[in-house]
Structure 1
Amino acid sequence: MATPDRKLRILMLHGFTQSGHSFEIKTKALKKSLDKHFPPAPKPGHLKHYPGGLELVYPTAPIRLDAHDVVPSGPNATEADSRRGEQVEESESYGWWRRKGDSEPYSNEGMERGFETIASTLQESGPFDGVLGFSQGGAAAGMVASLLEPGRREAFEKAQAKGGMRYPDSFVKDSGYIEEVVHPQMKFAVSYSGFGASTNDLYQAFYEPKIGTPMLHVIGSVDTVVSEERSLRLVDSCVGGKGLEGGVSRVVYHPGGHFLPSSGKPYVAALVAFIREVLGEDGKGGGGEGGKVEERVEDMDVPF
């Protein structure tokens, strides 16, 4: 039986050039909607296993970014690039890693630092039931879900023998008797405009074997920052990537670009249905494989 104050706790991972604080502000409407759908008991609609309601935790990535990380420089730089560079310098702009290279296969610099921050949050502010991320944070959400799965360390060890990335030391704790992962497996993960890390063999152990944690993918139909191909690479790296037949769709499209539709009713409903399904509190089946949910332009959230 759940304790009266047990809350549904979700780790929120911001995108590149954002911070935990800015992501919290930008998802304020989403938080408000989720609070209504997952209220504390005894309000109607509360989750029986989480009578305390909902809690979202927003860490900030460790890598402080500057203008050179975000905008082009040199003779091809435009006045708009310069203005954006100034905005980056003046704002709280952070990343979980820096991408290196002009084309695939990319490599990611500083990823170990990003995972150290996430691992610290898992231990100091956890346990969490799920992880949700936007853009680079969506990619990180998939990686975190993967890292916490049973057998993943062994997959990394096999891949490392062939030149792959080492399993992050920060995700391992030594109890004095046995080394174990720092946090239990997540019950679910959510990616908004997320993507697979890279086609680089360094990172294959994140996705081979496929991610077994249930994962929802929300993709912008006209996203010009993260292509549909990159987002679907993450979808295809998940077991039952598009969803189980007769269940809630695991791939949802919105008609906008690179932003999180935090107040659009169809997309909040899709998220709520997904969470209820994976927690076993949906009360019914529904959905189907991958779908496009329509929304009027005037109902859409402001991009970020």
Structure 2
Amino acid sequence: MGSEGNNSIGNGIGATTRKPRVLCLHGFRTSAEILKKQVHKWPESLLQKLDLVFLDAPFPCQGKSDVEGIFDPPYYEWFQFNKEFTEYTNFDECLKYIEDFMIKNGPFDGLLGFSQGAILSGGMPGLQEKGVALTKVPKVKFLIIIGGAKFRAPSVVEKAYSAPISCPSLHFLGETDFLRPYGVELIDSCVEPVVIHHPKGHTIPRIDGDNLKNVTSFMERVEKMCEIEQ
């Protein structure tokens, strides 16, 4: 497990008023640095609206990474699972690790997640509501979900989705993403989802055209919401 000192990678943009602070959770067997590179393909006009903090998962990669040869190691994973995705290992340790980081480096307003990080992010508001996770930090105010899905372990599902996800959420849904049907299930569990469709697969897409307008509108709404609650 790497030291927490190099887990946080800020966006380096100063601000006079507090921007919404977002904890960014990377995909399975990737890293904070990889997610940072992927997200920084987005327009500067969007990135300037948020204070993005990127965190490496607690466990070193325990198998081959899909990004080997594309992005340099090291690679990390948030928790482990069986072939059916119905049983998790080190899940409680993962939740505690995230909360400890949020306590030391927060307060955080929202979560951004890709792939396994998106599954975690999408389940956090419900787990927080049930007192299972993030009990010592402020309530999650919004979600940005990229290539997400719902948890499938029954013990987690009953707590994470016992009520609709009520905080505003932005979802990126790829036409050829293998997780697409499961991403739709997560969207159906949200009260206020904004859905951005893109033609790619399981990846973090570039944002332009009408999508840029819709994402900017969501970001501005989140900015106002966080200003009011300051």
* TM norm structure 2: 0.80
Counterparts of 1:137-216 in structure 2 under 5 Å? 137-149=117-129, 152-153=130-131, 167-168=132-133, 171=134, 181-198=135-152, 200-216=154-170
Deviations 1:199-252 (A, max 9, x none): 62442210111221111111100113x2x2211121122224xx4xxxxxx122
Secondary structure at the counterpart of residue 22 of structure 2: strand
Structure 1 residue aligned with 2:92: 112
Counterparts of 1:212-251 in structure 2 under 5 Å? 212-224=166-178, 226=179, 228-240=180-192, 243=193, 250-251=194-195
Structure 2 residue aligned with 1:98: 80
Distance 2:182 2:127 in 1: 20
Distance 1:31 1:140 in 2: 25
Stretches of structure 2 that go unaligned for 5 or more consecutive residues are 1-14, 226-230
1:24 aligns with 2:4: no
Deviations 1:107-165 (A, max 9, x none): 2222122212210221111111211111111111112233334xx22xxxxxxxxxxxx
Structure 2 residue aligned with 1:10: 22
Stretches of structure 1 that go unaligned for 5 or more consecutive residues are 39-53, 72-83, 154-166, 172-180, 244-249, 282-304
Structure 1 residue aligned with 2:57: 61
Secondary structure at the counterpart of residue 41 of structure 2: helix
How many Å apart are 1:262 and its aligned residue?
3.5
The amino acid of 1:203's aligned partner reads V
Q: Closer, same or farther in 2 for the Cα pair 1:258/1:114, shift >3 Å?
A: same
Distance 2:125 2:174 in 1: 22
Distance 1:217 1:143 in 2: 14
Structure 1 residue aligned with 2:7: none
Deviations 1:37-90 (A, max 9, x none): x3xxxxxxxxxxxxxxx311001001111335x58xxxxxxxxxxxx7x759x7
The amino acid of 1:58's aligned partner reads F
Q: Closer, same or farther in 2 for the Cα pair 1:255/1:280, shift >3 Å?
A: same
Secondary structure at the counterpart of residue 42 of structure 2: helix
How many Å apart are 1:35 and its aligned residue?
3.8
8 Å CA contact 1:145–1:186 kept in 2: the answer is yes
Q: Closer, same or farther in 2 for the Cα pair 1:31/1:60, shift >3 Å?
A: farther
User: Runs ≥4 in structure 1, deviation > 6 angstroms?
Assistant: none
How many Å apart are 1:5 and its aligned residue?
4.0
Higher relative contact order (CA 8 A, sep 6+): 2
Distance 2:156 2:142 in 1: 25
Counterparts of 1:26-65 in structure 2 under 5 Å? 26-30=38-42, 32-36=44-48, 38=49, 54-65=50-61
Structure 1 residue aligned with 2:10: none
Q: Closer, same or farther in 2 for the Cα pair 1:65/1:11, shift >3 Å?
A: same
How many Å apart are 1:11 and its aligned residue?
1.0
Counterparts of 1:276-295 in structure 2 under 5 Å? 276-280=220-224
Identity percentage of aligned residues: 28
Structure 2 residue aligned with 1:270: 214
Structure 2 residue aligned with 1:44: none
Distance 2:25 2:143 in 1: 11
How many Å apart are 1:23 and its aligned residue?
1.0
Structure 2 residue aligned with 1:289: none
What RMSD, in angstroms, separates the aligned Cα atoms of the two structures?
Answer: 2.7
Secondary structure at the counterpart of residue 160 of structure 2: helix
Q: Closer, same or farther in 2 for the Cα pair 1:55/1:31, shift >3 Å?
A: farther
Count, aligned residues: 211
